[in-house]
Amino acid sequence: MSDFEFKNNVMHAEQVPLPALAEHYGTPLFVYAKATIERNWRLFTEHLPPPHRVCYAVKANSNLAVLQTLARLGAGFDVVSGGEIARVLKAGGKAERIVFSGVAKSDLEIEEALQAGIGQFNVESVTELEQISRIAVNKGVTAPVSLRVNPDVDAKTHPYIATGLERNKFGIAMADALPAYELAQRLPGLTIVGVDCHIGSQLTELQPFLDAMDRMLALISELAERNIFIKHLDMGGGLGVRYQGETPPPVGDYIQALLFKLEQYREQTGRELALYLEPGRAIVANAGILLTRVQSIKANKIKHFVMVDAGMNDLLRPSLYQAWHNIVNVENKLGVAVQGDIVGPVCETGDFLGQDRTLIAEAGDLLAVHGAGAYGFAMSSNYNSRPRPAEVLVSGEQHFVVRARETREDLWRTETLLP
């Protein structure tokens, strides 16, 4: 089900026509449907009642209004920086529901996280264990830790978003996990609460998740033999969404397959484990679009170029990952179809939103780039000194600007001229 649908030949976001939003706020423009965010969230939570937990991966879309929407639903949050912790708290998220992941945490970030009273640290290395122990002891507190163990499972995804192989920078190798946990048990200022893994993003098959879970449950059994008892297994995020014909498993099937393995483990060992999941893309990707205006149509002897006002600085995924986003005219109209690339104004050959597309479009038309709710604005930049777009959240017939469009003065607000 989508909250971006055609009504009377004009695409709407919930009950609001997209041309009206473009007219009111300008383009490029990110538009989010609140109903989609809430519905996607409930698809997870209805299958994971307490003590299981769902923690939204903030890096996918960190807009305060998006975080606030999820916080009001009781969400946990998976963060990868001190800045993301601050955003979650600003949006009303509870500190004890924050899971702090990410490599190369700074002393200051760890200190602030301990001060806030976050739920746990997902620890990436033995060095980080020692770092957290040192800071916790100095502050006179105990830090809850879960070690991120690398199961060396091939997630069969783009190499830039694969995170579970030994050649990736993330996690502790499985062969080093037992001694790392034994060290964590000895170090002062730490309490072990879980085991964590994350094998990659945009996964569209169940088997890599299940393979990783088998390896993690085997590790948990070995830990129990050493009197190190785990309360929960954090299987990370990574469930894919449909951009172009992908067929990811339904959320319910995905969760039930994982819970079935936990039930088997309980029957074999008598030990209960809670399941933690950290979806990001699966919550917000199809809840957002990028609106962009056609500036002109350019043709040469080889192909056409649909020149639009959004570029790779606004939506980096096509250029960075060769990612495919469905792009449509927001009005069903008659005309001659154009076949070619949809490109922006950034001075790079890699500045495109779509290649080899066929659509009816002419100068002045409004296009919608679907699937832009995750890793859209979150990865945007000011490259070519381009102000970043506004973000708007739609709820029924209402719409709210949840981030104002940057001005040119914003581009140099933190800079100074020489005297």
- Asked if 319 contacts 376 with a C-beta cutoff of 8 angstroms, the reply is no
Q: Catalytic: 347?
A: yes
Q: What is the CA radius of gyration of the chain?
A: 23
Which two structure tokens, joined as six digits, stand for 193? 């609460």
Q: How far apart are CA 59 and CA 48, in angstroms?
A: 22
Q: How far apart are CA 87 and CA 252, in angstroms?
A: 29
Nearest alpha carbon to residue 390 among 65, 6, 129: 65
Among residues 1, 302, 347, 418, the one annotated as catalytic is 347
Nearest alpha carbon to residue 375 among 303, 288, 307, 270: 288
3-state SS record for the chain: CCCEEEECCEEEECCEEHHHHHHHHCCCEEEEEHHHHHHHHHHHHCCCCCCCEEEEEHHHCCCHHHHHHHHCCCCEEEECCHHHHHHHHHCCCCHHHEEECCCCCCHHHHHHHHHHCCCEEEECCHHHHHHHHHHHHHHCCCEEEEEEEECCCCCCCCHHHECCCCCCCCCEEHHHHHHHHHHHHHCCCEEEEEEECCCECCECCCHHHHHHHHHHHHHHHHHHHCCCCCCEEECCCCECCCCCCCCCCCHHHHHHHHHHHHHHHHHHHCCCCEEEECCCHHHHHHHEEEEEEEEEEEECCCCEEEEECCCCCCCCHHHHHCCCCCEEECECCCCCEEEEEEECCCCCCCCEEEEEEEEECCCCCEEEECCCCCCCHHHCCCCCCCCCCEEEEEECCEEEEEECCCCHHHHCCCCCCCC
- Asked if 264 contacts 344 with a C-beta cutoff of 8 angstroms, the reply is no
The residues annotated with a catalytic role in the active site are: 347
